[in-house]
Amino acid sequence: MVVIRLARGGSKKRPFYHITVADKRRSRDGRFIERLGFFNPLARGGEERLRIDIERLEYWVRLGAQMSDRVKALHRDWRRAAKAAPAEPAPVSPTPAPEGGDGTASDGAEQAA
């Protein structure tokens, strides 16, 4: 059976988890099929706490992969945060200045006079 679970990384007293797709028979931090994101429980300030490739997660669930309880909770939190976050405004493209309207001469003949 294929499961989606956390694989621990980081150093002692500083956990960092990768969200992985793995065969259930493999060890927690052992070989995996695909890495879908990460979870940093100690994120502070502007650090990113959670990143999930949601399209790939849903793909694996459609194929029958089972999510661990913790991954289910993280997925639920990620969905809530995505709904609560306002949509990013569309980037505003700078408008070009009209030619000759900025007080400069537009051709060389006017400059010579």
Segment 74-103, tens digit of pLDDT: 999 888 888 887 666 556 556 665 666 555
The answer as to CATH 3.30.1320.10 being correct for domain 2-84 is yes
DSSP code, position 34: E
Q: Which residues pair with 9 in a beta bridge?
A: 16
Q: Supply the pLDDT for residue 32.
A: 86
Please tell me the least confidently modeled range out of 5-19, 25-39, 65-79, 88-102: 88-102
Sorted by where each begins, the domain ranges of the chain are 2-84
DSSP code, position 41: T
Average pLDDT over residues 23-36: 88
Give the closest residue to 71 by CA, choosing from 29, 79, 63: 79
Q: Supply the pLDDT for residue 61.
A: 94
Q: Supply the pLDDT for residue 6.
A: 93
* Residue 111 scores a pLDDT above 90: no
Cα 47 to Cα 41, 42, 59, distances in angstroms: 10, 9, 27
* 52: three-class secondary structure by DSSP: strand
Average pLDDT over residues 53-60: 92
The residue assigned the tokens 């991954």 is 71
